[in-house]
Structure 1
Amino acid sequence: MLRGLYTAASGLVTQQRRHDTITTNISNIQTPGYKAQNTMVRSFPEMLLHLIGDEPASRANSTIGTLHNGVYAEELVHQFMQGDLEQTGRPTDFALVSHMTEVDGTAYAFDASGQAVTEDGDTLYQPQAFFAIEAGDGTQRYTRNGQFQLTNEGMLVHASGAPVLNRNGESVVLGADAAGIAYTMDRVAVSEGGLLVDKATGQAINDENGDPLALGIAQINNPNELVLEGNGLYRLDSEDAEVAFVADTSQVQVLQGYSERSNVDAARSMVEMMEATRAYEANQKMIQFYDRSLEKTVSEIGRV
């Protein structure tokens, strides 16, 4: 009986975590660049029961069957599918359109979940593109929220205040034109490759080193290694993770005056929330049933 109680309790906790994840997704429907999360549910290992003990030889060590021990929420998995684009008209808003299909120079056919299987049977994940941001400790962070701002010093920053990086891994700082007039985003156009150019002359804007200034678009080969920190920022904890700045407009495009919306499906999220609620209620009733059974065992049978 207690095994059934533990199974129902594990299901109760798992459905609550599913409900919390779905609630987080729904609350971020209007968050630019937000990527939906899914709770991965796994079952505990099955137990194989055998009949042993002081039994006749014909029944000794005979198999009874398997016993299930419930489920648990293993991890949160982000869904990095492309979100819809919304035209804002603001020159400091940028959206990434990422459709990468190449890993180490080889093109693969990725399915809707962003996975592909190699000839050797290995699973690959579709690379994704992110804006590169500099954190306070000097390390890089990655985001799909391109609603940036320009400071009085001409630095392009994320909504959190963190500097946006260029292809050289340095802060994007708009200088002045040949006449010494400081650039503003109204005078700057950004190409699909992320290159910043002067609208009036069509010439590329250079950084302090004299190199063409371009937004740093980071390619993450395995986006499942990213860890969400908040404010739409991700970090990479894996030491083996490879990050490179890309400028291939056939794989990634930068659109100025656009913002990428959340990829949360509101209708599907509501259905999943109702499923989690009903499953939670079912496990709750099972726990109440076991509670009444134990109460009856103690109060009635225990007196015999």
Structure 2
Amino acid sequence: MIRALYTAATGMKAQQLYLDNVSNNLANINTTGFKRSQVNFQDLLYDKKFIAGSESAQGFEIPSGIQLGGGVRPISTSKVFSQGNQQNTNRSLDIAVEGNGFFQISRPDGTIAYTRDGAFELNSKGEIVTAEGLPLTPSITIQDAKEISIGTDGTVFIKGSDGSIQNVGQIMLANFPNPAGLESMGRNMYAETIASGSPIVSAPGEQGTGEIHQYALENSNVETVTELVNLITAQRAYEINSRAIKASDEMLSTINNLS
């Protein structure tokens, strides 16, 4: 019964983490470019009473042994980079990536962060920046523009007040060998890690990156129904493990009361 107590406790801890993850997914259901996370579990070490294939006292081979597991543990949380639905906004600096790839953002410390959030603005210098004022990399400056046009390959054209058309730069995307290995930094940004591999920077539509679409934003890829089902599953699993602890406690109580 003592084994059951500790085994069920690992299950309750695992389901608590699972519930925390589901809650974060649901909390970000309206976050632009958000990618849902999933928790991966792993069973613990087994106590092997009898090993399958060993010889019994009568000299026969035991076809199956006795192995008692020690419970479960969370092994990782991974981002699911499936495509989110696109929402038309009619804003010229709203850009969505259809396919793989991340926008590159220059941070104050000089490092590069990566994001799927394409809600950009212009600062006082005419630079394309995020809602927090961090500039897009490579930097693109737009001044005296009546219209802004961004092609699917990232090329940015402006129409000046005199009616002339000018190419002011190209938005580049970064792709990674293992996007699930990126570090989530919050604020809709990710950081490169050893697990993610080095970024492969290219024009949209090249080297495995997707195309970009102007006047649109990518919604979160969280599916409400799926997360609600996961929520119920976590709650029921937590409840069942708590019942296992209660049953073990009652059995121990019965043994203690034997006269």
TM band (smaller chain): 0.7 to 0.9
* 8 Å contact kept, 2:150–2:214: yes
* Number of equivalent positions: 248
**Residue by residue, what CA displacement relative to the aligned partner does 1:193-222 show, whole Å, maximum 9, x if unpaired?**
1111123433312xxxxxxx1123112221
What are structure 1's unaligned runs of at least 5 residues?
99-127, 175-181, 206-212
**Residue by residue, what CA displacement relative to the aligned partner does 1:278-303 show, whole Å, maximum 9, x if unpaired?**
111100111122223333434x23xx
What are structure 2's unaligned runs of at least 5 residues?
none
Cα–Cα, structure 1 residues 221 and 14, in superposed 2: closer, same or farther, change >3 Å?
same
Cα–Cα, structure 1 residues 183 and 76, in superposed 2: closer, same or farther, change >3 Å?
farther
- 2:108 corresponds in structure 1 to 136
* 8 Å contact kept, 2:32–2:117: yes
C-alpha distance in 1, partners of 2:94/2:125? 18
- 2:19 corresponds in structure 1 to 19
Aligned ranges 1:90-239 → 2 under 5 Å: 90-98=91-99, 128-166=100-138, 171-174=139-142, 182-184=143-145, 187-199=147-159, 200-205=163-168, 213-238=169-194
C-alpha distance in 2, partners of 1:7/1:148? 50
* 8 Å contact kept, 1:31–1:262: yes
* 8 Å contact kept, 1:8–1:286: yes
C-alpha distance in 1, partners of 2:188/2:47? 42
| 2:215 aligned to which of 257, 260, 272 | 257
Q: What letter matches 1:282 in structure 2?
A: I
SS at 2:211's partner residue? strand
SS at 1:203's partner residue? strand
SS at 1:245's partner residue? strand
C-alpha distance in 2, partners of 1:131/1:201? 28
**Residue by residue, what CA displacement relative to the aligned partner does 1:45-79 show, whole Å, maximum 9, x if unpaired?**
3332149xxxx9659xx885111111111111111
Cα–Cα, structure 1 residues 38 and 65, in superposed 2: closer, same or farther, change >3 Å?
same
C-alpha distance in 2, partners of 1:172/1:282? 56
- 1:278 corresponds in structure 2 to 236
- 2:42 corresponds in structure 1 to 42
Percent of aligned positions that are identical: 29
Cα–Cα, structure 1 residues 240 and 252, in superposed 2: closer, same or farther, change >3 Å?
closer
- Deviation of 1:232 after TM superposition, in Å, equals 1.1
* 8 Å contact kept, 2:182–2:196: no
- Deviation of 1:87 after TM superposition, in Å, equals 0.2
- 1:209 corresponds in structure 2 to none
- Deviation of 1:240 after TM superposition, in Å, equals 8.0
* 8 Å contact kept, 2:181–2:195: no
SS at 2:167's partner residue? coil
Q: What letter matches 1:23 in structure 2?
A: S
- Deviation of 1:90 after TM superposition, in Å, equals 1.0
- Deviation of 1:40 after TM superposition, in Å, equals 0.6
Q: What letter matches 1:9 in structure 2?
A: A
2:237 is aligned with 1:269: no
Q: What letter matches 1:14 in structure 2?
A: A
C-alpha distance in 1, partners of 2:185/2:225? 26
- Deviation of 1:239 after TM superposition, in Å, equals 8.0
**Residue by residue, what CA displacement relative to the aligned partner does 1:61-118 show, whole Å, maximum 9, x if unpaired?**
x8851111111111111110111100001112110011xxxxxxxxxxxxxxxxxxxx
Q: What letter matches 2:199 in structure 1?
A: V
- Deviation of 1:159 after TM superposition, in Å, equals 2.5
- 1:292 corresponds in structure 2 to 250
* 8 Å contact kept, 2:155–2:167: yes
SS at 2:166's partner residue? coil
C-alpha distance in 1, partners of 2:195/2:28? 30
User: Which one is further off, 285-294 or 240-249?
Assistant: 240-249
Cα–Cα, structure 1 residues 237 and 249, in superposed 2: closer, same or farther, change >3 Å?
closer
Q: What letter matches 1:160 in structure 2?
A: E
